[in-house]
Structure 1
Amino acid sequence: MRLDHLTSWDADWAGLRVVVTGLGLSGFSAADTLIELGARVVVVDGRDSEENRQRADTLRIVGAADVLLGPEHQGRLPDVDGQPAQLVVTSPGWNPRQPLLAAAYDAGLEVWSDVELAWRVREREGRTPAEWLVLTGTNGKTTTVGMAESMLQAAGLRALAVGNVGTPVLDAIRDPEGYDVLVLELSSFQLHYTHTMSPLASVVLNIAEDHVDWHGSFEEYQAAKARIYERTRVAAVFNAEAPETVRMVENADVVEGCRAIGFTTDVPAVSMLGLVDGLVVDRAYIPERRESATELASLEDFGELAARHNVANALAAAALVRAYGVAAEAVRDGIRNYEPGAHRIQAVARRDDILWINDSKATNPHAASASLSAFRSVVWIAGGLSKGVDYAELVAENADRLRGVVLIGADTAPLRRALAEHAPDVPVFDAAVGDTGTDAATDGSAVMHEAVRLAAGHAVPGDTVLMAPAAASMDQFASYAQRGHAFIEAVRVLMEDTPTES
């Protein structure tokens, strides 16, 4: 009953006994926030690393926190100050079947994400809380939140992209200056543990098989994504080219008066945003939408980012910010000003008419397919932690553009089987270099140097060497960013060591 009343920063959080699982960015931010609120906190993390020990020391200094590091602490629900916990706030990497969380559910405890905690403390006496625009999807999330942030800032608003994009939402909530709008990139993991969020606008960009190992099934993964629409107040935005997202909106329990707004890279129907003769147009947020449309931007405003999937991301971002009331000119300026982040179809080098592209962010088949479809002739570097997905459709759809494939990853069997069945004539090379193991601390640099060497040996003028792994990185790298940096460094070394053809 006490938790029902914890709906603002100024509520009575003092003495609440909370277990926080995970000491990464979101876990540390949640623990730090709870300590500031006056709660009693125990943090559990299975990794007893130097980085975690430093974070633990910081938490112990700032307030009432006990930190338990090491795998032996993950199997049970600890007491807090000698008494049973009253709440668990979990990091997204922890799935509900993990023993500590299973014990929490068995004890009848609520399990929150850091997003749920942030929603509950966003209101604070003397401040106007930021509006929330929220999005999820299998691919394109980071690009879309970045574009939405750029559009909002072009409108003169104090806005920030937060959540799974890197900046924890609780850090933004506690910013002393505050924000007008927060754009949240939310993973299916975070949504699974989020229960009361009521955003101004929400969108599922797309849906494809991913994270089956975490959720247990593709159906459960879809159900977690669909939670983003619950309690949306102004606009539930769907992808007209992804029927699953249409059904999610149709089945969502939104606030009365919320509108269903679509986006499409084709000509838009009423209450949609889309493309007409190379123009991004709005037929949703204007009074005369039945007879006409308002121009928001042109494809020329995208510059080198005019690929179809980037235009779709911009349409989704525009649908979110237009729900807030952003003017058409700011949408255009936001597209022009947007600069994509690293590791997302990032050009690394071009020499001897061979283009080298880093798309380490392509951590699943759907994202990798978007990358592959952008190039005509590809030497593809791929593989990693597959997360239980199937590669057959990805390979079949792109077989005709593959000149060769270089496999990385500790277990190449799933991708190798798909290639043998659907692209049997494409040469396949293995970049294995000794025993890499499955330790996420492995830097993978030797594997990537070998992969780049093999790709360079097979590529010919006119080819693109594309590192779009279609898999997670944690079998050989600490993160997709480290994997991307390893590729960039390996290409740099190759360019230095190999003379240019005359």
Structure 2
Amino acid sequence: MSGLLAHLPGAAAFAGRRVTVAGLGVSGVSAARALARAGAHVTAVDGGDGERPRARAAELAGEGVDVRLGDGDTLPPGTELVVTSPGWRPDSPLFAAASAAGAEVIGDVEVAWRLRGPAGPPWLAVTGTNGKTTTVRMLAAILTAAGLRTAAVGNIGASLVDAVLADPPYDVLAVELSSYQLHWAPSVRAHSGAVLNLAPDHLDWHGSMAAYAAAKGRVYEGNVAACVYNAEDPATEALVREADVTEGCRAIGFTLGPPGLSQLGVVDGVLADRAFLPDRLHRAQELAGVADVDPPAPHNIANALAAAALARAYGVEPRAVRDGLRAFRPDPHRIEHVADVGGVAYVDDSKATNTHAAAASLAAYPSVVWIAGGLAKGATFDDLVREAAKTLRGAVLIGADRPLIAEALARHAPGVPVVEVTEAGTGAMAEAVREATGLAAPGDTVLLAPACASMDMFANYAERGHSFAAAVRALPAAP
């Protein structure tokens, strides 16, 4: 074997093979570079041909990678293995061609797992419809507080391939896995895994709710210590029951109520563990206070419990759970308090890009003027509005699919005043904030929880959140 990574046991699986890497995003570039260094003959393909793909192509050319821009559909002759980036759909022509040629298709997560080899750092893996990034970052903070060398990687943005090749090696990795990544990762076997929740999402990619759930459930396959599930979401427990795990692996639930046996939960403002202590039949272990969770919204407490369960499954002491949660700071645009103006709180949860996330955000506040809308991605809003109706004081709707939300409000919250912002340009959010301010009274929360994707009006959810915060700070009485 000739590659720069020849010393790694997992590199032998790729040495000498003809590999096509689909996509030149962060994960694709890392995979192409690592595979070339492992001794594979790598061709990278990407449908783009702009400045960024060209810069990445030049970077990879120095690694001996053949890059073909402007055509992501044609399979290079002789390809034995295709490595896809997470966003490429399973029905892409490239994969049909790979199937016809007898070439295996895997994702960058699978590449990382195979390169890792049997002696690599164990993975504590998190998936779910919502809360993945926050939970993984909480988990990494807890592991760090325990004195372990770790990183939050995977779907969170940092390359998992780079993490498993790190020198010195990590002790353990906190890994966020999307349903896309799990779909293309058949042999990943985490030390312990968690499914935080399940709600319809990405069905256009997976084809059905059953296929989406099955992809999420792969996080439990082969777990060694614990399968962590949401005791208040029966679909996650069902995935545990279906999983093929290592003998001795335990099912560990988390709940916002008092914990049952082999669960973590909440008792009198305390995060309590009845799963990882010798006398769990008769007592619980205090891990942290609800006040140690930032912010202490119900769904964020659930995230903290899931992170704590994975850390405890790995053997982390209770004090490290508390210290890690105290050290954790949430990412922007996740129920982020922007300002108080005239007795009204303004909160940015632009990351709430689907109905499940928006429902959790709305449930965190007793009296809400809701700013919502964007691209629905095929979602319906009746259940969301029905559940939130009692807390809504008003709604301001933006974006391409705002009529769908307006119709749901008319059906299930007919007494709630609704304003539709028809402007589609940069001033739309400023107008939405002004309209919401007009509907709000002291004690209310103006909440941006769009329940929709952002790309009809903004580059991404972060730009949408920044626009909201700027509009709030531009209000006449803003601090």
Q: In the alignment, which of 345, 349, 355 is matched to residue 355 of structure 1?
A: 345
Instruction: Return closer, same or farther for 1:368/1:7 CA change in 2, 3 Å cut-off.
Output: farther
Distance 1:484 1:49 in 2: 27
Query: Could you tell me which residue of structure 2 aligns to residue 310 of structure 1?
Result: 300
Deviating more after overlay: 211-220 vs 185-194 = 211-220
Q: SS of the residue aligned with 1:349? A: strand
What residue in structure 1 maps to residue 4 of structure 2? Answer: none
Aligned partner of 2:265 in structure 1 is 274
Asked whether the 8 Å contact 1:133–1:320 carries over to 2, the reply is: yes
Aligned-residue offset at 1:146: 1.1
**Quick check: 1:118 aligned with 2:128?**
no
Q: Deviations for 1:148-174, whole angstroms, at most 9, x for unmatched residues?
A: 111100001111111111212112122
Cα distance, 1:53–1:411 mapped onto 2, change above 3 Å: farther
State the AA in 1 paired with 2:258. V
Q: Which amino acid aligns with 1:340?
A: P
- Report the equivalent of 2:284: 293
Q: Which amino acid aligns with 1:240?
A: A
Give 1:405 deviation, angstroms.
1.8
Partner of 1:97: 91
Residues 10-409 of structure 1 correspond to what in structure 2 (within 5 A)?
10-11=11-12, 13-69=14-70, 73-74=71-72, 76-79=73-76, 83-123=77-117, 129-302=120-293, 304-409=294-399
| 1:458 is aligned to 2:448 | no
Aligned to 1:445, the other structure's residue is in SS state coil
Between the aligned partners of 2:62 and 2:38, the Cα distance in structure 1 is 15
Distance 1:48 1:453, change over 3 A: farther
When residues 109 and 361 of structure 1 are mapped into structure 2, their CA distance, relative to the original with a 3 A threshold, is: same
| Deviation of the 1:464 alpha carbon | 1.4
CA contact (8 A) 1:207 1:245 kept: yes
Range moving further from structure 2, 140-149 or 418-427: 418-427
* Residue identity opposite 1:415 in structure 2: I
Contact 2:340 2:478 in 1 (8 A): no
Report how far residue 21 of structure 1 moved.
Answer: 1.7
Q: What SS does the aligned partner of 2:435 have? A: helix
1:277-329 deviation line (CA, Å, top 9, x unaligned) = 32222221222222222221222333x52222122111111110111110011
% identity of equivalent residues: 54
8 Å Cα contact 1:42-1:68 kept in structure 2: no
Q: TM-score by structure 2 length?
A: 0.94
- 1:144 is paired with a residue of what secondary structure? helix
Q: Alpha-carbon deviation of 1:499? A: 4.7
**Who is 1:3 aligned against?**
none
Structure 1 residue 18, shift from structure 2 partner? 1.6
**C-alpha RMSD over aligned residues:** 2.0
Distance 1:217 1:360 in 2: 26
Partner of 1:420: 410
3-state SS of paired residue (1:194)? coil
Greater than 4 Å deviation, 4+ residue runs: none
Determine if contact 2:198/2:233 at 8 Å carries over to the other structure.
Answer: yes
With 306-315 and 406-415 compared, the bigger mean Cα shift is at: 406-415
The separation in 2 between residues aligned to 1:109 and 1:427, in whole angstroms, is 57
The CA distance in 2 between the partners of 1:256 and 1:22, in whole Å, is 38
How many residue pairs match? The answer is 473
CA distance 1:174–1:340, shift in 2 (3 Å): same
User: Counterparts of 1:446 and 1:65 in 2: how far apart (Å)?
Assistant: 45
Q: Deviations over 1:417-471 (max 9, x none)?
A: 212211223222233325xxxxxxxxx6333233223323333322211111111
Residue 441 (structure 1) aligns with: none
SS at match of 1:404: strand
| Partner Cα distance (1:133, 1:500) in 2 | 43
Q: Is the 2:32–2:65 Cα contact (8 Å) retained in structure 1? A: no
Q: Partners of 2:407 and 2:45 in 1: how far apart?
A: 39
Larger displacement relative to structure 2 (201-210 or 47-56): 47-56
